[in-house]
Amino acid sequence: MTPRQAVPQVVHSLSPKVDNMTSKDLQDTKVLRDHIEKSYQCGRSFAEQWRNLPEIPTKREIMPDPPDPSDYEEEWDDYQRDPLYNPSLPMNIVDRPWTSKAAYIGAHYQIVREDGIVSLRDVVASVKKDPMRSGSDDICIYTDVHIIGLRLSSVGAAFRVEFSSERAGKRIRWEQSKRLRTGTLVALSPSRDMFRTICKIAVVAARPISGGLDQNPPQIDLFWGDDNDADIDPNESYMMVESKMAYFEAYRHVLVAMQKLMTEKFPLSNHLVHLDPTIEPPPYLKENPFMDLTSLVSTYEDDKYILKQFENVNVLESIPHIHHSTMDVSQMEACTRMFTMSLAIIQGPPGTGKTFTSVNALRIMLDNWAPGDPPIIVAAQTNHAIDQLLDLIEKFEPEFLRLGGRSSKQNGAITSRTLHELRRTKDKAKYRNIRAAYSDLKLRTNEIKKCLAPLLDSGLLPADILLKRGIITSSQYDSLHEDNWITADDPNFSSSPLSSWVGADQLVLITRCPPINMGLEEEEVDLEFEQLRELELELGETPDDFEEEALTGAWISFEETYTGRATHGYSDKKMRKYLSDKQNLYEVPSNLRGEVYRFFQRQLRKRVVEEYRTNLVPYASAVHNIKWESNVEFIRRIGIKIIGCTTTGLSKYRGLLAALNPRILLVEEAAETLESTIIASMFESLQQLILVGDHQQLQAHSNVPALQYHPYNLGVSMFERFISNSIEYTMLNRQRRMIPDIRILLCIDSRPFYPDLQDHPTVLDRIDNRPPIPGMGGRDTYFFHHTWPESINPDSSRYNIDEAQMIVGFYNYLILNGLNHSQISILTFYNGQRKALLKCLKNHPNIRSNTYFNVFTIDSYQGEENDVILLSLVRSNEYLNIGFLENKNRLVVAVSRARRGLYIFGNAITLHASEFSEDNKLWEPVLTHMSMEGRLNLDRGLPITCTNHGIVTEIREAEDWGKLAGGCRKKCGGKFSCGHSCPFTCHPRLHEELRCPLPCSKLVVECGHSCTNLCSEICACKKCAVKESELTKSHKQGMPALYGSLRSRSNSPQKSMRYQTPTPSSVSNGSPSKRSSSSLSPLLPAFNPTISTHDWNMWNAVEADKNMADLKRNAVGDKSRPTNSMPMINETHHKVEIQDDVRVRKKTSPVRRLILPLQSLSIEATLPEQLDAETTFKIEPLEEDLISFD
């Protein structure tokens, strides 16, 4: 079904047998159908105007008529009034109760709808003002848009369009681009109009990469917002525009759900609307307050008497004290609130175990779940967060369902629990009722194909089709068939009456979208996307995993080749009147017949569109209806106890969830969720709402900054509104993440974010749980101050390249000192800086071989943590503007992600000077505290400490990192296993993990020459062109650790513009399959974390040489091998001796020598005839690695 179509009558003959359904089943089916068919809106007009708005915005909303200045009289004090984004929008009240349910829901509906569509309205206005403008960072313009076909899918008729993206000024990397995502709102206008009067709204139905966006020109599928806008004219060229600032799909289902909510009972309205502070237990718990709480008891509490106390507890009276619980006091209090109160609000500061507490409460609820009970619904703001929660639940409850298909493909436990996978594996009967529906749908599809058939032929329209469709009269038809008029015999045209009548000179070829100019510069690579793709490919995922799913169904291609020559000045109305007087079509002047033929084409298309609506839409809706009814029955039948989805999924799947009659809804990250999203998920059956979050961290986000704050307050979540209005809540107060030096930044006495936050004993253990950061001399927190200026990239995002290079140098230093890449995350407030950091990391010679770097914006890292956080502030300017850094919530997230080390890089002067108001000091307390603790010094660099010598070195510039190898500037002085002295500067790595850069003193087995490679490389002789591939297997077996290490090294260059000094002691974690040893650098270590140093330590040079000599003798003495010719060589081989496990050459005079194969040696051995008789040969015993004559 397309986004906004007339609601069809449900075909009950395709529905499940009513006789087999109980009254409850019938009621649940009605709930589901009401959501799908939107019967609550049919034929009604509501007093509240917002309730009458269609699902997809109208032309009037996107391209409104300009206001008449005469309608508004300016008043003298207008300039003093508070500026409002849009005076017609209602105020969002957050500091007192609402007057009514309608006012509450209506205000949120109107503000959220505006937030979802205003960006497209602005784009249309901009393009209308300047039709020839190019695209920008927030405006996408596509030209030469042509409709090329129709996909008759089970969810509606999707129109395939091809288009040009040349206004972008570059070739788009569609696989990584966020342009034209499924669900995106777009506006189209004919190229002849350019949004002057015509504006059609559509929604992206699908954006398949293969067979779609990878074509030239690219193609996507669209649903028309209004069926009256549907067009199947391939000759009409459109301009299409899109805003990258808003994603309408995230709003669409919420808006529909809020309209539906106005026809339902509104659960918990006394709290949501009227802010009633009195919270009671949910009705189902009042009926039976006894619960099994044994899961709260620690596993080692095996005393049967203790367990007996918790098997049947009246939770509304008192809960026995638990002596050895895994939860602290605040977590236990929060958990109790969650399973006993109808409205439970839990605030969890960073690291206090919000998710852990939620999982414990859910486990208790599931322990008390009985067959026939509805499933518990859990939701979170992001796919990642809900998957993390379900991962923890899966450990004790396998019967869960994941709604939505955006789970990571790496997580098999989650993907196997999607509705599609469960139906595929558990529902053998599958869609019995749907099969019949699809059969009827196929018949309707064939009818559509028949009615479209005249448009599918590349030739001209048949006259009989025009007569049959009522486009021409029988008299006009007869006039085309008068024998004396059929005279055309042009081989290029059919001899049909219509082609003879119109004439070749009145026909023109239909133009199509031209191919994209491949000479355009390609869009910049998104390094984040690329490294994710590399990581997923290494895990075995195929490129198909990155493609959007294409629609399936019958495909009808519009193959028309010709249209009539256009004549201006003839509208359809005027042409219809003109033809009514021309019953003989040959009375139409020949120069007007092309325009008449175009009129015939338009009229035929219009009738075809009407037929497709009549024949297809009702059955598509019926199939969709039965599908979800079948899903409801299936979920109940297999005993699903808990359903997880994103907060957007709560409204997207509202019909399905409402039909399951859930009683409990738990929302994680509730403080980051728009209040409208939770309003939309208030199902009639809901008795208990649990909100878990922290309003001191990231807030709910709006696309329009003006709507984020007063008076619209979209940034204020339901969670924050409840707490601000003194509704009861529990705050967790013991954190298990940060060391005290980091935690104190959230609790500074002058302005604490969390006054009562305490440390759990685990974070005080600096030996096992939270060891100090190596190479930092105990400085686990530090603010590095600089004055490097910021810049702005083409996307208007800030970045600071000098700061990025400084951070990357420090990152490499930490890696050299033993930290793993996975232990370090780099956070920044700006996406431009994220890209700059990733680019620097990928270009750094010592760490570029790593597959994945943890580089994120602050907004995408809430809920995550890591051992070490490197925080890039970016802002450094003379006008003292710090932008995003002014946001308190982002600051809390930024400084609370680290477990062991937090290092901040930025301009402290800009931060301090930007805070003019004494009442709004945000960074000053942090800067003052770190300065007093010796963790910030405006006159010093970043102090690092050598782990070998204890020497402190101050790093002031990014170039300073290139002078170090992870330690200090002293010479190492140690020795490699080969006996050579280490020539490097001080480094923290063991020599067994490094590669010796000195020349090799060994001899090559194959030719006996001196090795021309370095000591740490595989022996080779460049003079004889002995390559690595020619080395014997025995040679490699003789030095397994070294060979394995060399094979794993990268051939990346050792210097860059910023790092002119070789950096010898870097470590590679690269994949061996991607490396080459053909150009190995002696200055990189032969260390690979996947290879043990045991083989290296056990390797004996003398024994290895003997083994290789024995293997050589055996190979040469093998009788099955063919007889080699007797080679004549000029002797350059020198005798060797073994001294201190090293082969030393003995100088001898060169001599020509004949080397004979063993099988040819005998008393009768003679010299080859071709040799010069005067040539003399000295035959003597060979050394141990040559053939002996004894």
Q: What digits encode the pLDDT tens for the residues 787-826? A: 999 999 877 889 999 999 999 999 999 999 999 999 999 9
Q: Residue 157 forms beta bridges with which residues?
A: 152
Q: What digits encode the pLDDT tens for the residues 726-762? A: 999 999 999 999 999 999 999 998 889 999 999 999 9
> Does residue 1044 have a pLDDT over 80?
no
> Does residue 36 have a pLDDT over 60?
yes
Q: How far is the C-alpha of 812 from the C-alpha of 906, rounded, in Å?
A: 19
Q: Name the least confident of 243-247, 870-874, 1109-1113.
A: 1109-1113
Q: In which element (H, E) is residue 644 found?
A: strand 642-646
Mean of the pLDDT values across residues 635-648? Answer: 93
Q: What is the mean pLDDT of the chain?
A: 80
How confident is the model at residue 511, as a pLDDT? Answer: 80
Count of CA atoms in the C-beta half-sphere (13 A) of 216: 8
Mean of the pLDDT values across residues 865-879? Answer: 96
Higher pLDDT residue, 168 or 23? Answer: 168
280's CB contacts (< 8 A; 6+ apart) are 286, 341, 342
Q: In which element (H, E) is residue 564 found?
A: strand 562-564
How confident is the model at residue 28, as a pLDDT? Answer: 67
Main-chain phi, psi angles of 940, to 5 degrees: -120, 165
How confident is the model at residue 1090, as a pLDDT? Answer: 32
How confident is the model at residue 910, as a pLDDT? Answer: 94
Tell how far CA 322 is from the center of its chain.
43
How confident is the model at residue 667, as a pLDDT? Answer: 98
> Does residue 724 have a pLDDT over 70?
yes
> Does residue 1124 have a pLDDT over 50?
no
Q: How far is the C-alpha of 53 from the C-alpha of 807, rounded, in Å?
A: 51
Q: How far is the C-alpha of 483 from the C-alpha of 297, rounded, in Å?
A: 99
> Does residue 262 have a pLDDT over 60?
yes
> Does residue 1147 have a pLDDT over 60?
no
Higher pLDDT residue, 659 or 231? Answer: 659
pLDDT band at 837 (very low <50, low <70, confident <90, very high): very high
Dihedral over alpha carbons 808, 810, 811, 817 (to 10 degrees): 150
> Does residue 1028 have a pLDDT over 60?
no
Main-chain phi, psi angles of 1072, to 5 degrees: -60, -30
- Domains of the chain with CATH codes: 263-432+628-734 (3.40.50.300), 434-482+496-510+565-626 (no CATH), 765-963 (3.40.50.300)
How confident is the model at residue 616, as a pLDDT? Answer: 65
Q: How far is CA 759 from CA 739, 746, 765, 770, in A?
A: 8, 12, 11, 13
pTM above 0.75, yes or no: yes
Q: What is the DSSP string of 396-456?
A: T---EEE-SS-S-TT-HHHHTTBHHHHHHHH-SS--HHHHHHHHHHHHHHHHHHHHHHHHH
How confident is the model at residue 1150, as a pLDDT? Answer: 44
Please return the burial class of 756, using the count of CB atoms within 10 Å of its CB with bins 0-12, 13-18 and 19+: exposed
Q: What digits encode the pLDDT tens for the residues 349-359? A: 999 999 999 99
1178's CB contacts (< 8 A; 6+ apart) are 1151, 1152, 1153
How confident is the model at residue 155, as a pLDDT? Answer: 76
Q: What digits encode the pLDDT tens for the residues 209-228? A: 888 999 989 999 999 998 88
Helix orientation angle between 572-580 and 593-637, rounded to the nearest 10 degrees: 120
Q: Name the least confident of 385-389, 560-564, 624-628, 1004-1008.
A: 624-628
pLDDT band at 116 (very low <50, low <70, confident <90, very high): very high
How confident is the model at residue 390, as a pLDDT? Answer: 95
CB 4 within 8 A of CB 617: no
Count of CA atoms in the C-beta half-sphere (13 A) of 640: 28
Higher pLDDT residue, 1095 or 319? Answer: 319
> Does residue 1091 have a pLDDT over 60?
no
Main-chain phi, psi angles of 401, to 5 degrees: -130, 135
Residue at token pair 């060891």: 771
How confident is the model at residue 76, as a pLDDT? Answer: 53
Q: What digits encode the pLDDT tens for the residues 767-793? A: 999 999 999 999 999 999 999 999 998
Q: What digits encode the pLDDT tens for the residues 992-1008? A: 888 888 898 888 877 88
Main-chain phi, psi angles of 1092, to 5 degrees: -75, 150
Higher pLDDT residue, 244 or 533? Answer: 244
Tell me how far apart the terminal alpha carbons of the chain are, to the nearest angstrom. Answer: 93
Q: How far is CA 800 from CA 213, 543, 698, 793, 855, in A?
A: 34, 34, 24, 10, 15
Higher pLDDT residue, 567 or 454? Answer: 567
Contacts by 925-929, CB closer than 8 A, 24 or more apart: 925/748, 925/750, 925/751, 926/745, 926/748, 926/891, 926/895, 927/783, 928/750, 929/744, 929/745, 929/748
Q: How far is the C-alpha of 118 from the C-alpha of 110, rounded, in Å?
A: 12
- pLDDT above 90 as % of the chain: 49
CB 433 within 8 A of CB 447: no
Q: Name the least confident of 158-172, 291-305, 579-593, 1159-1173.
A: 1159-1173
> Does residue 1046 have a pLDDT over 50?
no
List % helix, strand, coil for the chain (3-state, nearest 5). 35, 15, 50
Q: For residue 870, give both structure tokens.
A: 């490197």
How confident is the model at residue 452, as a pLDDT? Answer: 73
Handedness of CA 948, 951, 952, 955 (dihedral sign): negative
The residue type of 412 is: G
CB neighbour burial string for 532-553, b if at least 16 within 10 angstroms, e if fewer: ebeebeeeeeeeeebbbebbeb
> Does residue 509 have a pLDDT over 60?
yes
Q: For residue 1022, give both structure tokens.
A: 């460049």
How confident is the model at residue 1111, as a pLDDT? Answer: 59
How confident is the model at residue 1130, as a pLDDT? Answer: 39
How confident is the model at residue 1039, as a pLDDT? Answer: 36
Q: What digits encode the pLDDT tens for the residues 1050-1083? A: 333 333 333 333 333 333 333 333 333 333 333 3
Higher pLDDT residue, 688 or 620? Answer: 688
Q: How far is the C-alpha of 333 from the C-alpha of 327, rounded, in Å?
A: 9
